[in-house]
């Protein structure tokens, strides 16, 4: 039995950690959530695809006020992973505009979320500077 | 084509703290003010469109009728995020265009004083063992762990995305946009704040979500606005004075966001705003160069920049240069947010989409006092609610 669970169902921890997306079989639109149909073309069949683990930071913010339990400041952003946009925190970097800039190259990294009463660790993800 | 619709009466309450007034009190103040401005009474009105988000399930429209006039007319209670007020107005206009009535009343009100950060919604209840929930199969709340759902953070990213695409959108530039709006508000007695800030003060204030500091965020406050709209044929039966002060609604548009790559990852406020602007210019038969003033949805300083571009006030990619030219200051070629905008006038969410229209109408009537844009004949009011909904109204002075 695994003693680790992913924070979300589209994070794969086995082997090299990576994200997956639900890709519309008709138009190729990609989604991370459970789907009823494709918002772009209305088709209702999807297959699972792997998302590139390296990308470019397209937008970010440094959040200083957040929900209880979330350490601040932290960097939130959108990463362009070879054409698939991913929402994530930027991790392993000082939360400071001198160290984070749009256009920077980043790669997927896993982060711990916590351990539950049964001793199972939840593992999340972020993107860290690639160079 | 359906006949033109006109604003006959319009009113905005003081924005700010109103601890002694409840939601219905504020709504009633705006509605009675608009009716009085129109020279009509509730019994003349054929449809009521009512917007309020904080009590969205409480039939605010009917509560309002019980205080100001129960005449049996249909009530549409609407909720459309920060575009709620514009949606209410749009509903009243549509009823007239459809020929169902000659007179409509739209009201928007919110009490937000003291409300904290407006955050997102994926706060799943946490159990003592991880169990996947919701559409992402999440074992814990995602806000803050997978990006941010807080409004200041979302709009901060939207601003920096523009910087990534076109360059030049620095922290200081966003602070200077905020400086402009706060400076404008010193002439607006109805604004929540009427205080000028220096760029340094803005940049050194409390950081909320980089690059948005506190004065660069919309001000939570209480307020209401209401408008009485009439068909052109009804207007022509009214007094010359009523006709002279009436303001023509040359365009009324509401859009939602069409699917784009990334739009479900970071809200895309651009595509639907561009679509709304294009439809509005087409309907009105005017172009951005014809606008004497614009009230746009500066829920954050970072949002104002992208909407210069989205509303086609500047060439694509040219918003930074456009702002740097001074065009959007009140003495510039396209004054933007001479009311002080949401950052300084305040943002009582459901009131905002009618209050922006009130600001434009007041200038077109030549009744804006110290902050009057001289000779204003055409103006545009824009709001956006995340989710998303975008409302654009173009107004013209009566000839
Ligand atoms: Zn599709």
Q: How far apart are CA B187 and CA B371, in angstroms?
A: 6
SS3 content of chain B, % helix, strand, coil (to 5): 40, 20, 40
Using CB atoms, which residue from B135, B156, B259 is nearest to A39? B259
Contact predicate B361/B7, CB 8 Å? yes
pLDDT of residue B3: 86
Distance B163 CA to ligand 1 centre (A): 30
Confidence band for A131, pLDDT divided at 50, 70 and 90: confident
CA distances A43 to A26, A32, A38, A46, Å, are 7, 16, 5, 8
CB contact under 8 A, B210 and A10: no
Q: How many domains does chain A have?
A: 1
Q: Contacts of residue A86 in chain B, CB cutoff 8 Å?
A: 265
The closest CB to that of B140, out of A7, A40, A61, belongs to A7
- Position B200 in a domain: no
Instruction: Search chain B and give the residue with CA nearest A96.
Output: B210
Closest chain B residue to the Cα of A4, Cα to Cα:
B130
Flag if A58 and B141 touch (Cβ within 8 Å). no
Do strands A18-24 and A46-51 pair parallel, antiparallel, or not at all (unpaired)? antiparallel
Are the beta carbons of A63 and B148 separated by less than 8 Å?
A: yes
* Residue in A6, A29, A102 nearest the CB of B160: A102
Helices marked H in chain A — which ranges?
none
Q: What is the pLDDT of residue B249?
A: 98
Ligand 1 centroid–CA A27 distance in Å is 4
Q: Is A58 touching B (CB cutoff 8 A)?
A: yes
Whole-number Å distance between alpha carbons of B312 and B213:
27
**A113 lies in which domain range?**
4-129
Q: Is A5 exposed, middle or buried (0-12, 13-18, 19+ CB in 10 A)?
A: buried
Strands A121-129 and A84-90, by their bridges, are parallel
Tell me the CA end-to-end span of chain A in Å, nearest whole number. 36
Q: What is the CA radius of gyration of chain B?
A: 20
Nearest-neighbour CA in chain A from B166: distance (Å): 11
Contact B150, A123 (CB under 8 A): no
Q: How far is the CA of A41 from the centre of ligand 1 (A)?
A: 4
> What is the predicted pLDDT for the residue at A2?
72
Task: Specify the DSSP class assigned to residue B371.
Answer: G
Is B75 among the domain residues?
yes
The whole-model pTM stands at 0.96
Instruction: Give residue-wise pLDDT tens across range A68-124.
Output: 889 999 999 999 999 999 999 999 999 999 999 999 999 999 999 999 999 999 999
Residue B16 belongs to some domain of the structure: yes
Can you give the pLDDT at residue B26? Answer: 98
Mean pLDDT for chain B overall: 96
Q: Is residue B99 part of a domain?
A: yes
* CATH number of domain containing B243: 3.40.47.10
B160: distance to nearest CA of chain A, Å? Answer: 5
Q: Note whether A60 contacts B: Cβ–Cβ < 8 A.
A: yes
Q: Does A42 touch chain B (CB under 8 A)?
A: no
Cα dihedral B181/B186/B190/B192 (nearest 10): 60
Cβ atoms of residues A63 and A92 within 8 Å: no
The reply to whether A110 touches chain B by the CB within 8 Å rule is: no
- ipTM for the predicted complex: 0.96
**Residues in chain B with pLDDT values less than 70:** 1, 116-127
Nearest CA in chain A to B165: A58
Which residues from B are below 8 Å from A94, CB to CB? none
Q: What is the pLDDT, as a whole number, of residue B121?
A: 47
Q: Structural domain tally of chain B?
A: 1
- Whether B211 sits inside 8 A of A70 (CB atoms) is no
Is there a contact between B144 and A67 if contact means CB atoms under 8 Å apart?
A: yes
Kindly give the distance from the C-alpha atom of residue A26 to the centroid of ligand 1, in angstroms, as a whole number: 5
Structural domain of residue B226, as residue ranges? Answer: 5-115+219-397
Residue A128 has pLDDT above 90, yes or no: yes
> Does residue B211 lie within any of the structural domains?
no
**Residues B32, B23: Cα–Cα separation, whole Å:** 14
């Amino acid at each position: 039995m695994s003693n680790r669970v992913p924070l979300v169902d589209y994070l794969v921890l086995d082997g090299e950690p990576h994200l997956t997306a639900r890709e519309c079989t008709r138009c190729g639109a990609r989604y991370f959530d459970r789907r009823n149909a494709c918002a772009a073309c209305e088709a209702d069949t999807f297959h699972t695809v792997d998302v590139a683990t390296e990308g470019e930071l397209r937008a970010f913010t440094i959040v200083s006020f957040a929900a209880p339990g979330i350490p601040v400041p932290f960097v939130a952003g959108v990463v362009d992973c070879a054409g698939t946009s991913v929402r994530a925190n930027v991790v392993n970097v000082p939360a400071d505009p001198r160290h984070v800039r749009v256009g920077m190259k980043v790669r997927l990294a896993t982060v711990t979320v916590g351990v539950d009463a049964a001793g199972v660790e939840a593992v999340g993800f972020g993107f860290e500077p690639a160079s | 084509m359906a006949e033109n619709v006109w604003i006959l009466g319009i009113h905005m309450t003081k924005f700010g703290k109103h601890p002694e007034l409840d939601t219905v009190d504020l709504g009633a103040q705006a509605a009675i003010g608009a009716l009085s401005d129109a020279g009509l009474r509730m019994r003349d009105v054929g449809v009521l469109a009512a917007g309020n988000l904080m009590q969205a399930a409480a039939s605010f429209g009917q509560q309002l009728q019980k205080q100001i006039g129960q005449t049996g007319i249909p009530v549409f209670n609407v909720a459309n995020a920060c575009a709620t007020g514009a949606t209410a107005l749009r509903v009243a206009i549509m009823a007239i265009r459809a020929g169902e009535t000659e007179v409509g009343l739209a009201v928007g009100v919110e009490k937000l004083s003291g409300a904290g950060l407006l955050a997102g919604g994926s706060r799943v209840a946490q159990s003592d063992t991880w169990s996947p929930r919701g559409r992402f199969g999440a074992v814990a709340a995602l806000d803050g762990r997978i990006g941010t759902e807080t409004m200041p953070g979302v709009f901060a990213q939207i601003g920096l995305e523009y910087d990534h695409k076109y360059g030049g959108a620095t922290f200081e530039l966003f602070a200077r946009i905020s400086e402009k709006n706060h400076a404008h508000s010193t002439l607006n007695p109805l604004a929540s704040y009427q205080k000028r800030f220096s760029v340094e003060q803005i940049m050194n204030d409390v950081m909320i979500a980089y690059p948005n500091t506190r004065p660069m965020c919309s001000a939570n406050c209480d307020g209401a606005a209401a408008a009485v709209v009439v068909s052109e044929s009804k207007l022509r039966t009214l007094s010359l004075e009523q006709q002279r002060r009436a303001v023509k609604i040359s365009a009324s548009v509401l859009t939602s966001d069409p699917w784009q790559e990334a739009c479900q990852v970071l809200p895309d406020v651009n595509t639907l705003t561009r679509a709304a602007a294009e439809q509005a210019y087409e309907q009105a038969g005017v172009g951005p160069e014809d606008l004497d003033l614009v009230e746009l949805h500066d829920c954050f300083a970072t949002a104002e920049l992208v909407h210069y571009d989205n509303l086609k006030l500047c060439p694509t990619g040219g918003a930074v240069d456009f702002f740097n030219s001074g065009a959007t200051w009140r003495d510039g070629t396209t004054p933007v947010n001479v009311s002080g905008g949401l950052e300084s006038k305040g943002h009582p969410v459901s009131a905002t989409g009618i209050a922006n229209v009130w600001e434009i109408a007041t200038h077109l009537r030549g009744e804006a006092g110290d902050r009057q844009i001289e000779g204003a004949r055409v103006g545009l009011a824009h709001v956006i609610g995340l989710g998303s909904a975008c409302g654009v109204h173009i107004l013209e002075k009566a000839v």
